[in-house]
């Protein structure tokens, strides 16, 4: 049932995935559903809704990513980082969260799905000092754009991009992008079976 839905959603979103990747995405949903009962990782309880609101909602960002090294800030159970890592085995994703139970879940996913391109990392973003900076800094439902840029300003490489995944765009939030940063692109995203607005903001340091 879920496998057929996933196939349909991927086709609608024009996203290519191998059979192995599809199985990994389904296995991730199964683990999220299983662990959610004890760990309360997400307010979404239904696996079919997880497929839309977590998996596809993450994957629609994939065509817009540029570079090899990414950090997913405030990733929670690994969103959007884990679905994006499954779809992009050639890219590395550091999954940053301050809650240990979320990191334990990510490590279990890493083990069970055989993902060698994710790095679960327990830290507050302000305290995290990477050895190498990132091509892309991702955040999904993490904070306001203003807070994201202030807290994460030390993370991108010289030509790195901030990728902020937002729902409906608020004028006041867009107007409060701090000095020293430039909004390069605003992309409207279409998530299959989701009748809500989704946007991707691409922001760079000036």
Cis peptide leading into 80, omega within 30 of 0? yes
pLDDT for 4-35, tens place per residue?
Answer: 999 999 999 999 999 999 999 999 999 999 99
Q: Are 171 and 199 in contact (CB under 8 A)?
A: no
Binding residues: 74, 79, 125-126, 140
Is the pLDDT at 142 greater than 80? The verdict is no
The pTM of the whole model exceeds 0.85: yes
Q: Name the average pLDDT for the chain.
A: 96
H or E segment to which residue 9 belongs: helix 2-13
Instruction: Give the H/E segment covering residue 161.
Output: strand 156-166
**Res 32: pLDDT:** 97
Where is the binding site for S-adenosyl-L-methionine, in residues? 74, 79, 125-126, 140
* pLDDT the model gives residue 203: 97
How large is the average pLDDT for residues 134-141?
A: 94
| C-alpha dihedral sign at 125, 126, 131, 136 | positive
Q: CA 99, 105, 107, 108: dihedral to nearest 10 degrees?
A: 160
Span 168-206, pLDDT tens digits: 998 888 888 999 999 999 999 999 999 999 999 999 999
Average of per-residue pLDDT across 47-72: 97
- Quick check: 141 pLDDT over 80? no
């Amino acid at each position: 049932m879920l496998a057929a839905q996933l196939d349909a959603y991927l086709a609608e979103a024009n996203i290519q995935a191998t059979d192995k990747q599809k199985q990994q995405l389904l296995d991730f949903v199964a683990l999220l559903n299983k662990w959610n009962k004890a760990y309360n990782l997400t307010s979404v309880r239904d696996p079919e809704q997880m497929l839309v609101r977590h998996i596809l909602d993450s994957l629609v960002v994939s065509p817009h990513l540029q570079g090899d090294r990414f950090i997913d800030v405030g990733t929670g159970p690994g969103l959007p980082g884990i679905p994006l890592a499954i779809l992009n085995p050639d890219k590395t994703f550091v999954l940053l969260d301050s809650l240990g139970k979320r990191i334990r879940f990510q490590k279990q996913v890493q083990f069970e799905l055989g993902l060698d391109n994710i790095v679960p990392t327990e830290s507050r973003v302000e305290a995290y000092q990477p050895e190498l900076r990132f091509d892309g800094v991702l955040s999904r439902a993490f904070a306001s754009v203003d807070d994201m840029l202030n807290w994460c300003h030390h993370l991108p490489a010289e030509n790195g991009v901030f990728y902020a995944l937002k729902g409906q765009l608020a004028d006041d939030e867009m107007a409060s992008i701090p000095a020293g940063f430039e909004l390069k692109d605003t992309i409207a995203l279409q998530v299959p079976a989701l009748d809500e607005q989704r946007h991707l903001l691409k922001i760079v340091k000036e």
